[in-house]
Every structure is written in structure tokens, then in C-alpha cells.
Structure 1
Amino acid sequence: RNATHQMKKLTLADLKAFRDHLRIPITDEQLEADLYRPPYYHPGMDSPEIQYLMGRRKELGGFVPERRSKHTEVTLPEDKVYEVANRGSGKQQAATTMAFVRLLKDLMRDKEFGKRIVPIIPDEARTFGMDAFFPTAKIYNPNGQNYLSVDRELVLAYKESISGQIVHAGINEAGSVAAFTAAGTSYATHGEPLIPVYVFYSMFGFQRTGDSFWAAADQMTRGFIIGATAGRTTLTGEGLQHADGHSPMLAATNPAVVTYDPAYGYEIGVIMRDGLNRMYGPGPADNDPSRNVMYYITVYNEPIVQPPAPAELDVEGIVKGIYLLAPAKIDGPRTQILASGVSVPWALEAQRILAEDWGVSADVWSVTSWTELRRDAMAAEEDAFLNPGQPARVPFVTEQLAGATGPIVAVTDYMKAVPDQIRQFLPNEFASLGADGFGFSDTRAAARRFFKNDIHSVVVRSLQMLARRGEVDAQAPAQAIEKYRLHNVNAGTTGNAGGDS
């Protein structure tokens, strides 16, 4: 029988036979003294064997990988680089994917910092609007471009170069994560920080290569992971293969991954700036473990009007996970709507309908990271557990919503377990609306009506919770279901049909 996996220790006879076979000069007495702690043998740096090994390693360029505790200082981008994220899209519509790409383009143009960015795109560069990078940044190929591309007549033609900045490993997520890891650890292996920015269809990230991201974390990789065409209902025209409703939950299992689901371009700007500062900004030592993080940012392909950054922007709220986006505009029975990513515009429309049709006063909160809110709250609980008798720290989410009265409706384009991460840390009655299941291949409006996470579902759920409290008419929920035809999948109106797939 094959007992390899069952043999955890060598017997004394086996150990002596092993010694004899390798001709190791250790005596029987030394082995018999302690079977489980045999002496370590090194032939000495001057021995022919060690000299040979050291010589070969020198010819190969030294020890690789070799971690360095110091690296070249990084000059981070100035404030003006982030202006493109803060000014919004004016009257034009732009998906958060495009808002991200515009910011990335300006970051790459920065004279001091731009050269350190390594875009990694396994597929769909044109879908993401990143073909504009081809003529200037070019795709890296150590042998240059040795063929004529089929799109060579286009202004934004595919171009490879020995000085290219973009890594394109083909439609190969495993190879792309390997490139991400190599670039993201260069600060330690070569003393030269690079910022990998890996962009992919969100379903093809943690779903396919979660183990590789875990290995990247184990190697203390730093960089940005961009899950594009995110959400379970925003890209439904190509079947269920792209219906990502769970990547934030998968990402939450990796302690080195900081997950965000931003709604607007200005939120992306704040998040990316925070990530760069955390990795390479002033603060802890270069090799401090707190710097070894990977920011997972989900972006969508559904175009909306991107608003400019508010004058009094709650930067801390965006970074830590939640801020008040739109306070209620009327007095009435009170409710709170918490939304993330593409569902934030739905929450704002639900706020309007609740006020105009039902006289309900709703605050809308943008939740940029359910996971970071939970991690902060869990850390507060742990601190209170280990320090009895000391004043307990209040979790950030609890602190932000202190005084926010009424039931909470949390809505997301991911499964309900994503917002449920913070349920236990809020005293309010709490309901989650999300997209559980494999997906629904139809229009965005129909898919959202099917999953009951659309605008009118937020309205009805709010009315149900208020009716139970006796704060609105008991018949209001049923009347709203009939009024908005909530049971009719084809009656959904949430979202639009724009955006590349």
C-alpha cells in the first residue's frame, strides 16, 4: 500500500538508512540521542557542493524571490489627477466602468507616478473603453509586434511593443492573476513598486481564480482588482455566465482584500486614492503588514448621469463604508434606505416615490463597502470581548446611523447575504433586498423585478415594515403591490438598456 501520506515521522532505522544513502557524516549516537531532533548538517560554505550551488545562483542573477524591506520611494499623484472623478459626467451618461477608466487614464499620465501602473486586461479591453490605451501605453511583448493586427486600420489599433505598459496574457485569468502577483510584489522582490490594476468581468475573478488571489495575499501582493460588468442584473444579455451576484462574499473570505461597491465616479476616486495612500503613502514603515492589501472595486456597465462630488463630501464615510447621500425631503413616517453600487439610483427614485405617493420620509445612504463595515464592527466586538470593564468602541456603521430612526431597507444587486453582513450591528428593524439565485436572462428591468430588488420593491418593503409598526395604513403595502404590478416581471421599469456588454 501507498503509505506516503500516513508516514509523518521516520523510524530510527529509516533515519539511519537515509543518512547512509546521502552519506551525511552524522553518527549513530547523535541520531539515537533524540530521534525527533536529529542534528542539522551543513557541509560549510567552502565545500565544493555549496560553492557550485552559489555559483549557479549568481549566474542566474541572485536569489529570487528575495524580499527587501526597503523600496524606491513612490511619489503619489497630486490632487488635480482626481478632478476627472470629482466633476461628474455633466449631461452625458457614463457607467462607473467608464468613470474608472477615465481616472486610470489620468493616473497613467502623471509624469512621476504613471509609469508604475501596470494595467492587466485578459479580455474585453474595448468593452471597458480601454482601447484608448493601445496607441500610447501599448501592450508589453518582449519581442515586439511581429504580425499585422486585424484592426490595424483603426485609430485605436492593437499595438504591442517591447516598451509596452499593458499586460495582456490572452483570455487567461490564471495567467493574469500570476502577472498581477508578480507586479504587486515587485516592491519587495525588486525594490521597485508597481501598481497592478487587473480589470476583468467580475464573474471571472474570485469565482474562477479565488485560490490564486489567496496565494497573492499570502505573497503580500499590493494592487487593485477591478470587477467590471458587475452585479447579477446589469449584464443579462449573454446568459447567466456573467450574472455575478456573489463576488463580494467570496472576496470577503480573503483577509487581504478590501472590497468596495461604489455607486459614482467620485466615490471611486476617493477609494483609489485611499488605496494608493495605504499601500505607498506616508505612515507606517515600507514593510508594515497593514500596507499589504488588494482593493477589489466592482464597477458596472449601466450608464447613468455621474453627479459631481458634493461640496461637503464625507470622505471618511466613503472609505469606511457608508455615508448619508440624500436626507429625506419631507416630514412623515420615517425609513432608511441603504444601497450600494448600481442600486443607489434605484434608492433615490424609491425615496421620491415614497414621498410623493405615500407621504413617507426616507433617508438614502450610499454603502460603499458592506464588508469593511462588518470588519470594523467585528473588530469592535473583539476589542470589547478582550477588554472587559473598558469603554466599548462603537462600530462605525452604528455610529453613522445613530439617530436614523425607522426600519432599514438594504438593497444591492448582489445576493442578500452581502447587506446582511451588517444586520446585527444596527438596532433598527432590517430587511435585505438582493439577487439570490443563478440569475435571470432578460432585460435589466425584468431581472430586477424578478429578484424583487428594484425601485418599487424598495417602496413596497418600506411600506410593509412601516405598516407593521402602525405608521402607515395597513392596506398600503397591498395597494402598492397592485399599483406597481409587483408580481408582473414585465412591469419592471428599473434601469436602462444602455452600455456595452
Structure 2
Amino acid sequence: SSWSDDQIWNLKRGGHDYRKLYAAYKAASEHNGRPTVILAKTIKGWTLGSHFEARNSTHQMKKMTIEDLIGFRDRLEIPVKDEAIDAKLPPYFHPGKDSPEYQYMMERRRELGGFIPTRRKVSKALPQPKDVSYESVRRGSGQQEVATTMAFVRLLKDLLKDPDIGKRFVPIIPDEARTFGMDSLFPTLKIYSPHGQTYTSVDRELMLSYKEATDGVILHEGINEAGSVASFTAVGSSYSTHDEPMIPIYIFYSMFGFQRTGDAFWLAGDQLVRGFVIGATAGRTTLNGEGLQHEDGHSLLLASTNPAVVAYDPAFGYELGHIVKDGLRRMYGENSENVYYYLTVYNEPYMQPEEPKKLDVDGLLKGMYLLKKAPRWRSKRVQILASGVSVNWALKAQELLNKDFRIAADVWSVTSWNELRRDGLNVDRHNLLNPDKQIKAFVTKQLKGRRGPVIAVSDFMRSVQDQIAPWVEQDFYSLGTDGFGLSDTRGALRRHFKVDAESIVIAALHQLAQKDVISNRKVKKAIKKYQINDVTAADAGNTEGSG
């Protein structure tokens, strides 16, 4: 060969040879008809010197020696003098704005559309929906039984009609739109497809048949939660990337949200995404026909680990209305915040009450408010805190305690255990740093002067309710649905997990007996009276909307 030893030693591996890389990329970009893979052989740590190159310890190497820096400079022919090299603070080199390298990079940037992606911290504030949009959930359902999932879909329909903000909403559905009653949106909003509808749908004879269109609004993703949360992230960050605030409404089986794609939800928080995530068919005993695979009793707990998530577990439609209204204000109004909302809704129909005339909206948004006071004349008292679908069990327990045991119970609707905990943590931090200016947590202030033990219940694990225990000054006892889900009637499941109305009564009596307010004999009598250990003795409950 006519090559010298130096020429041979200076040969680069293909992955480090710029001409070969350019030629390979050019050939690949000009080839049509099938995908092209470029295999490029490289050395890990290339140009960093003998201490780094091709060594498995590269990730453990934190600093370069003077010798390494000089070798790096020489290898890449960077014009930096020896005396300028400092091991602790190596100099940065800029070739100059007139250099060919800089000019080439700027030219490529311009050709590609500018310096993107870029982040905007602030985008334009959106006009807030008119009050009429919330009227359907505020007036209740009368004698008709409606699940909170249906109440939310009705609210969404009304928001979509708002002339100012309606076009900003983007419903995202990863699975069964009809399960959530969202098929009624198909004819008007249509399902987005870049190619339009290229098939004849099997349900074409139905009024609510599938309709795809290039100008469709709904993102119907199929069984693809990973793709759906990616869509949620793209839509929810559009205020920053495109200066066009959009409002993603991502609705899914609550079991398949934070559990299945929790890392992607963390990414959404990292990217300062805004929008609404709806965990439908929530509750370990409420979606009662699909066993341990679908029955969610812990998504609120998983959501609590994400600093960006504001999580609520509303019981009634009017609560949903206030939460959504406040969420739109916080995320899309003036001084918008980098949070997104997680709302759990249920598929069990029950009568949705009209919004109370003197509703404590501030308490509702902060996490809890007094829903129904107990009769004042009872001396023996308890406080029942419940969220979501369990508020109905608490109201029934209130009646049983009064009728069967002459015990008064105040019923509180806890819209957010998670937000109450956050408030408590903030108070703890304040008190730690301000010993002369001690303050109380919101839950502590709400329960101030309220007599009797606190019984906390939900259709989720006890850990969800236990989040607020450190700031409850009364005796505290939680009931929850710890364990795998099961398939049975709602009543049997609630009796099994000991969260039904009768179990709440037993818990209240037990706590009173612990303080010698009543005798243990009364607790035993109640256990026998309600056949509390017999799941078949429980009222089957409403079977509508079951899985």
C-alpha cells in the first residue's frame, strides 16, 4: 500500500467520518419506497482522550485533567492557547459570527423555520365561559338519576357551545367513547383524521355513528393510552410552543391513567402542561363488574405524587362545575398557573342535587365544606368526611346514626384530600420557619369546635383519606377499599371492604366506645343488627352503569 503509518492511524471509524456520514445521509434521504437504516460504528467518549474513550467507566468520570483537555483541544483543532486552559474552569470557544461554521448554522436554522422549539412562559389569557355554561350542573337532575361522568359530559357539551372559548377544547379519548356517553359529540364535533373518513362505519345507520373528518375536533386514539397522553401533552403545551392556548380534555378509565402512563404524566408536568385529565369509571366498588383489572382505588394516591396535578374527587355535578370553572381561571385566565387538573368521576347513577343556596364555594375549592349539619339537640356527635360517590353512603349513615342510636353526625363533602394535604404541608413549612407566627391548616380550621371523632371514607384506599390525619385534632379513623378489586354487586363490594353506610355507623360507634361515650355493647349490637360480616345481607344497590 502507498499509505503511511500515520495515514492508517488517522483513519476514523465510519461513525466519526463526516464525509461518510454525509454520504450515507444523502443516500438515505434520496431513497424512496422503503425505510433506510444507517449503521454507524462509533467509540463512546470519542475525542475525550485515552482516559475516557471506549471505557465502561465513562459515566463515572466527572472531570477532565489538564492533559485530557489539551488532548481534546488538539484532536479537534480548537484554537485555544495552553495558558488559557484551566482544569477547574476550561474556556469556552466561539468561532465568531463571521465564521463559516456560525454562518452555516444560522442558515440552516432560518431554513428550518427559526429557533424552535422555543418556550413562552406567558401566552394570551382566554375569555372565561359565561355562567350559562354551568347552569345544567348547578340545577341538578331532579328525579332523574345521573352519574357524575354523565354530568361532566353534559358540562363539556355546554362549554363547547361557548362562542368565545368553545373552539379551544380538544376532547381526547383513548378507548370507549360510548362508555362515557361521548358518542353524542360525534355528529357535531367529528373525530379528527388527516385523511378524512376512508371507510363505511358499521354503525352508519345510527344517529350517533362514527364520523371522521379532516376538520374533526375529537382525538379518538383507540386503545392507546401512551399516544393519548402524548396528545394531551402536545395540546396542553400549545400555549407555549405555538402561542395558542388549547384546552385538552383527556378522559379515560381511571385505572389506566396514572398507573399505566404515570411517567408520561410526570413529563406533562415537567413540560408545564395545562388542561384537564378525567378519571372516569372511578372507585374500587363503583366499576363493579370488571374485577381487579379495572377497579381503581388508588389513582388519587398516584396523582398526589405529581407536584403539577390538582386532584379532585367530586360527589355532585355542581361541585364539578365550580372546580372546572376555577380550573379554567387558574390555567387560562390572567396570571395563569403551570398546573393541570385530575378529576375522578363515577359511572353510578344517582340523583344530582341542586346547588345549595349558601354553598361554601371557597371550602369546596380548597378541599372540604359542610354538606349537611346534624340535629343540634343530640349530645353524642361524630363528623363524617366523605368524597365522591361515598358522600351518599355518609348521608345514609347520618340517618342510621340518628334513627337507630340517637347520635348526631355532620356530613362533610371532601372534594380534595390531596389539596387538603398540600395545604397542611404548606402550613407545616410556614410554622417551621416562623415560630412566632403559627397558623392552622384549612382542615383544622374547618373542624374547629366540631365535637366527636372524625370518620373519613371514600371509594379509594385508606391512604387517600389518611393524607389529612396529621392536621385533624379530633380522633381520626379512616375506611377505604384496600386490596384488589372484585366482581359482585356494588352493595356486596362495599360491605366486603367495610365502606358502606352500615360500616360507617360501626366505625363511628367504635370510636365513641373508645372514649367511653357509649358502651362496647352498642357496637356489638350494631354489628349483629346490620349483619356487617355478611356481604349477602347488604343491599345490592344501583346496578345501572356497572362494568
What range is the shorter-chain TM-score in?
Answer: over 0.9
SS at match of 1:127: helix
Q: How does 1:290-439 map to 2 (within 5 A)?
A: 291-329=337-375, 331-332=377-378, 333-390=380-437, 392-439=438-485
The corresponding residue for 1:465 is 511
SS at match of 1:384: helix
**What is the distance in 1 between the residues matched to 2:377 and 2:516?**
16
CA contact (8 A) 1:440 1:450 kept: no
**What is the distance in 2 between the residues matched to 1:168 and 1:54?**
40
- After the TM superposition, which of the residue ranges 176-185 and 262-271 deviates more from structure 2? 176-185
**What is the distance in 2 between the residues matched to 1:351 and 1:394?**
28
CA contact (8 A) 2:372 2:410 kept: yes
The corresponding residue for 1:8 is 62
Cα pair distance change 1:62/1:154, threshold 3 Å: farther
Residue identity in the other structure for 1:364 = V
Residue identity in the other structure for 2:256 = F
Match of 2:284 among 232, 235, 259: 232
Deviations 1:334-389 (A, max 9, x none): 01110000100000001001111111111100000011111111111111110121
The corresponding residue for 2:38 is none
CA contact (8 A) 1:177 1:213 kept: yes
Deviations 1:179-207 (A, max 9, x none): 11111111111111011111000011110
**What is the distance in 1 between the residues matched to 2:277 and 2:406?**
42
- After the TM superposition, which of the residue ranges 343-352 and 460-469 deviates more from structure 2? 460-469
**What is the distance in 2 between the residues matched to 1:492 and 1:39?**
76
CA-CA distance at 1:11 after TM superposition: 2.9
Question: Is 2:67 the partner of 1:21?
Answer: no
**What is the distance in 2 between the residues matched to 1:47 and 1:133?**
57
CA contact (8 A) 1:354 1:459 kept: yes
Residue identity in the other structure for 2:444 = T
SS at match of 2:382: strand
CA-CA distance at 1:54 after TM superposition: 2.5
Match of 2:239 among 149, 165, 187: 187
Cα pair distance change 1:500/1:236, threshold 3 Å: closer
**What is the distance in 2 between the residues matched to 1:416 and 1:178?**
31
SS at match of 1:382: helix
Residue identity in the other structure for 1:39 = P
CA-CA distance at 1:176 after TM superposition: 1.1
Match of 1:127 among 161, 169, 179: 179
Question: Is 2:168 the partner of 1:116?
Answer: yes
**What is the distance in 2 between the residues matched to 1:359 and 1:198?**
46
The corresponding residue for 1:106 is 158
Residue identity in the other structure for 2:99 = S
CA contact (8 A) 1:448 1:494 kept: no
CA-CA distance at 1:500 after TM superposition: 5.0
- What's the RMSD between the two structures over aligned residues? 1.5
The corresponding residue for 2:541 is 495
- The sequence identity of aligned pairs, in percent, is 60
SS at match of 1:192: coil
Residue identity in the other structure for 1:498 = E
**What is the distance in 2 between the residues matched to 1:149 and 1:488?**
48
- Report the TM-score, using the length of structure 1 for normalisation: 0.95
Q: How does 1:197-276 map to 2 (within 5 A)?
A: 197-276=249-328
**What is the distance in 1 between the residues matched to 2:354 and 2:172?**
28
Question: Is 2:492 the partner of 1:440?
Answer: no
SS at match of 1:418: helix
CA contact (8 A) 1:420 1:432 kept: yes
**What is the distance in 2 between the residues matched to 1:169 and 1:12?**
54
CA-CA distance at 1:330 after TM superposition: 5.7
**What is the distance in 2 between the residues matched to 1:148 and 1:481?**
59
- After the TM superposition, which of the residue ranges 155-164 and 17-26 deviates more from structure 2? 17-26
Segments of 5+ residues of structure 1 without an aligned counterpart are: none
Q: Which has the larger radius of gyration?
A: 2
**What is the distance in 2 between the residues matched to 1:265 and 1:491?**
31
CA-CA distance at 1:239 after TM superposition: 2.0
Structure 1 residue ranges (4+ consecutive) displaced by more than 3 angstroms after TM superposition: none
CA contact (8 A) 2:368 2:416 kept: yes
- Report the TM-score, using the length of structure 2 for normalisation: 0.87
SS at match of 1:74: coil
CA-CA distance at 1:314 after TM superposition: 0.8
Match of 1:51 among 75, 100, 103: 103
**What is the distance in 2 between the residues matched to 1:148 and 1:63?**
43
Cα pair distance change 1:186/1:160, threshold 3 Å: same
Cα pair distance change 1:21/1:142, threshold 3 Å: farther
**What is the distance in 1 between the residues matched to 2:310 and 2:289?**
30
Match of 1:79 among 131, 137, 150: 131
Residue identity in the other structure for 1:194 = M
CA-CA distance at 1:447 after TM superposition: 1.1
**What is the distance in 2 between the residues matched to 1:153 and 1:21?**
71
| Equivalenced residues, count | 492
CA-CA distance at 1:261 after TM superposition: 0.3
The corresponding residue for 2:44 is none
**What is the distance in 2 between the residues matched to 1:415 and 1:98?**
24
Segments of 5+ residues of structure 2 without an aligned counterpart are: 1-54
- After the TM superposition, which of the residue ranges 216-225 and 56-65 deviates more from structure 2? 56-65
SS at match of 1:417: helix
The corresponding residue for 2:35 is none
**What is the distance in 2 between the residues matched to 1:346 and 1:331?**
23
CA-CA distance at 1:407 after TM superposition: 0.8
